[in-house]
Structure 1
Amino acid sequence: MSEAPHRRIWLCADDYGISPGVNRAIRDLISRGRLNATSVMMVGPAIGRDEADALSKVATESARCAIGLHVTLTAPFRPLTMYFRPLDDGLFLPFPKLLRSGLMRRLDAEMIRAEVSAQLAAFRDMFGRAPDFVDGHQHAQLYPQVRDGFLAAVKEAAPQAWVRQGGRNIPLAQRLAAPKALLLDVLSLQFRRRAAREGIAFNPGFAGAYDFTKASDFGALMGGFLEGLPENGVVMCHPGFVDDVLTELDPLTVQREHEHAYFASEAFAQLLSARKVTLG
């Protein structure tokens, strides 16, 4: 009897460009073959020609690594477009306010489209090509009204890219046990429908959401993320090395170092082998 084939998944590190330490950690894991995707923040303080070239080089040398755009529409970052609204002291809204504004139909989908288009153009200018995929910082691409402008921009400027949805392939009882991930399930339902209507490809499954405020055994979490994840499903992750730039911008700090250490470990390689999962 032949052995069951391995599932190929995308293990995607978010936030390339948020800080030099995060960039170094992501490139390190790509070079080890422990990541096969990363998404780039074009509004981040640590993205420039040198950082982009370093990422392109290590991704090219890897067996198979995709580079995507991490569309950023939430604080503490600033838009690329001059007339983007609403803003909070010149910054994007914090994500709870952006989500609430979308739910209350107070956003302008055309302004969202223009900003996403500007970030796509910045990616193309920096990397010399369109992104392989497009996702969103703090899952903003899934929010009501935001998703309309987001999908319109991707269809226009990167029609061959796939977009990231956040719905899981697990039983209802397990969904209810994780409120944060359950919210992504709900938001992703309409996102998938609209993407399909526009003829835009998306990942068939998603995992990686957990409570960053609690101390967790990341190895155990990773084992759970792989349960039920289909071929070409996405596991989102946030490896990084903590530096002053990251500390000023994001509350997710030491957890990034825990993730990096786990992905670099032999325990992660053993988990992939035991679950018959490949990043190749």
Structure 2
Amino acid sequence: MSDLRRIVLCADDYGMSPGVNAAIRDLVARGRLNAASAMVVAPSLTVSEATALASLKRDRPSLQIGLHFTLTAPFRPSSEAYTPLQDSAFLSLPTTLGSALVGRLHRDRIAHELRAQIAAFSTLFGFLPDYVDGHQHVQVFPQVRDAVLSVMRETLPDAWIRQCGRVSPLAARIGDRKGMLLDVMSKGARKRALEAGIAFNPGFAGSYDFNSDPDFAALFPKFLYALPDRGVIMCHPGFVDDELKALDPLTELREREYAYFAADAFPDILQAHRVTLS
């Protein structure tokens, strides 16, 4: 129906571990996700894992598969010349963000690394990414966003970039320091994307405090509130395995998200909020 809002429900981190991959593919097959972001620098984005996800796209034209551009530890770069590094891996998130905020990153090296990750994506999947987002939101960091948009304008002019600015009322955002920082950085990213002629999502949701003990079933309907047509909700479903435990602190919450999306009640929740994934 025309009054339904069409949203993008995007699962991040495809390739991080076999358990994450399996959970994302299962939800795609159930029609519970319509986007997945692939980490080409992650250990479990093999040819077979990429082929398995790409095969789902052939039967589901609305499924979008994007590049989850990665610039933070513990992952290692795809390009040989990328710096700065620590122990042959990217720098930590706090160091990367801090360096970006004070202009100490190298735009040309970021652009070279993005080109390498796009090339790896194309080799694995057999097509170019439908969009670009970033692990830990690096795509909206100062300096990084300029490099990303420059490369996208050259190599992915029909793709869109994920911005992370929220549309919820200001009163609901105050107190969320991470979210407020993303709002500010995304404002700059949107301005530059418009100048570059690169499309972006009009709204964003899905961020919450992963270090607390959140009730995801209570959070998700709030993500839907005020989200505009074609807005993006980020999610992180997965099954916990040893590889995931070794790479990322976000573990059991992934299984909670998976269970929520896989439940029989989930389509009714979307319908109640006049939302569709088609």
Q: TM-score, normalised by structure 2?
A: 0.98
In the TM superposition, what is the alpha-carbon distance from 1:231 to its structure 2 partner?
Answer: 0.4
Q: Deviations over 1:220-272 (max 9, x none)?
A: 11000000000000000000000011000000000000000000012322210
CA distance in 2: counterparts of 1:223 and 1:63, whole angstroms = 26
CA distance in 1: counterparts of 2:271 and 2:254, whole angstroms = 23
CA distance in 2: counterparts of 1:268 and 1:63, whole angstroms = 21
Return the match for 1:205 from 189, 203, 206: 203
In the TM superposition, what is the alpha-carbon distance from 1:4 to its structure 2 partner?
Answer: 6.4
CA distance in 2: counterparts of 1:235 and 1:177, whole angstroms = 20
AA paired with 1:212?
F
In the TM superposition, what is the alpha-carbon distance from 1:182 to its structure 2 partner?
Answer: 1.4
CA distance in 2: counterparts of 1:175 and 1:140, whole angstroms = 21
Q: Deviations over 1:117-168 (max 9, x none)?
A: 1101111111121111110000011111111111111111111100000001
Is the 8 Å Cα contact of residues 208 and 235 (structure 1) preserved in structure 2? yes
Q: Deviations over 1:17-46 (max 9, x none)?
A: 000000000000000000000010000100
Is the 8 Å Cα contact of residues 81 and 115 (structure 1) preserved in structure 2? yes
The equivalent of 1:224 in structure 2 is: 222
Aligned residues: 278
Return the match for 1:136 from 116, 126, 134: 134
The equivalent of 2:108 in structure 1 is: 110
Matched residue SS, 2:199: coil
In the TM superposition, what is the alpha-carbon distance from 1:178 to its structure 2 partner?
Answer: 2.2
CA distance in 1: counterparts of 2:231 and 2:161, whole angstroms = 12
Does residue 145 of structure 1 match 2:143? yes
Is the 8 Å Cα contact of residues 84 and 111 (structure 1) preserved in structure 2? yes
The equivalent of 1:48 in structure 2 is: 46
In the TM superposition, what is the alpha-carbon distance from 1:83 to its structure 2 partner?
Answer: 1.2
CA distance in 2: counterparts of 1:132 and 1:95, whole angstroms = 25
AA paired with 2:15?
G
Q: Which moved more, 1:130-139 or 1:119-128?
A: 119-128
Runs of 4+ in structure 1 displaced over 4 angstroms?
none
The equivalent of 2:267 in structure 1 is: 269
Is the 8 Å Cα contact of residues 219 and 268 (structure 1) preserved in structure 2? no
Does residue 18 of structure 1 match 2:16? yes
Is the 8 Å Cα contact of residues 13 and 236 (structure 1) preserved in structure 2? yes
Matched residue SS, 1:266: coil
The equivalent of 1:59 in structure 2 is: 57
Q: TM-score, normalised by structure 1?
A: 0.97
Q: Deviations over 1:91-138 (max 9, x none)?
A: 101111001001111111000000001101111111121111110000
CA distance in 2: counterparts of 1:158 and 1:248, whole angstroms = 33
The equivalent of 2:30 in structure 1 is: 32
Is the 8 Å Cα contact of residues 164 and 202 (structure 1) preserved in structure 2? yes
In the TM superposition, what is the alpha-carbon distance from 1:87 to its structure 2 partner?
Answer: 0.6
CA distance in 1: counterparts of 2:102 and 2:166, whole angstroms = 26
In the TM superposition, what is the alpha-carbon distance from 1:5 to its structure 2 partner?
Answer: 1.3
AA paired with 2:170?
L
Superposed, which structure 2 residues align to 1:112-261 within 5 Å? 112-261=110-259
In the TM superposition, what is the alpha-carbon distance from 1:179 to its structure 2 partner?
Answer: 2.1
AA paired with 1:79?
P
Q: Deviations over 1:34-66 (max 9, x none)?
A: 000001000010011111110011222236211
Q: 1:129 to 1:63 in 2, by over 3 A?
A: closer
The equivalent of 1:84 in structure 2 is: 82
AA paired with 2:58?
T
AA paired with 1:16?
Y
CA distance in 2: counterparts of 1:62 and 1:217, whole angstroms = 31
Tell me, which stretches of 5 or more residues in structure 2 are unaligned? none
Is the 8 Å Cα contact of residues 14 and 236 (structure 1) preserved in structure 2? yes
AA paired with 2:241?
D
